[in-house]
Amino acid sequence: DAKTTQPNSMESNEEEPVHLPCNHSTISGTDYIHWYRQLPSQGPEYVIHGLTSNVNNRMASLAIAEDRKSSTLILHRATLRDAAVYYCILRDVNSNYQLIWGAGTKLIIKP
């Protein structure tokens, strides 16, 4: 079973920042937090991952709470192309570090 909790859906306006929350209260010290997204009619694609420190890449930023029990994916300026289901995933030793998927958050972008 997935070890993360995410809202079912969120809405945002185009060209505004989006903060997608994820709770992972049972995280252990060696678990990595990964984010993927799945655009309509496509396979999932990698967004970002982190362990303890905040991370930035060309797609997004990942803010990890100090106690690591939650994290937030930040899209700095959402476009219509960012409408997708976003998955927050813990990769842990108990699952052989495989991706265990939950239901994700469906992000709706309003023009």
Residues that bind other proteins (CB under 8 A): 2, 30-32, 36, 41-46, 49, 91-93, 96-104
If the CB atoms of residues 12 and 107 are measured against other proteins, the closer one turns out to be 107
Taking the C-alpha atoms of residue 66 and residue 75, their distance in angstroms, rounded to an integer, is: 20
In angstroms, give the least distance from the CB of 66 to other proteins: 21
State whether residue 80 is helix, strand or coil. helix
Residue whose entry in the numeric block shows the structure tokens 């809202």: 7
Taking the C-alpha atoms of residue 103 and residue 88, their distance in angstroms, rounded to an integer, is: 9
Taking the C-alpha atoms of residue 23 and residue 45, their distance in angstroms, rounded to an integer, is: 21
If the CB atoms of residues 14 and 32 are measured against other proteins, the closer one turns out to be 32
State whether residue 95 is helix, strand or coil. helix
If the CB atoms of residues 16 and 45 are measured against other proteins, the closer one turns out to be 45
If the CB atoms of residues 32 and 74 are measured against other proteins, the closer one turns out to be 32
In angstroms, give the least distance from the CB of 14 to other proteins: 25
In angstroms, give the least distance from the CB of 95 to other proteins: 9
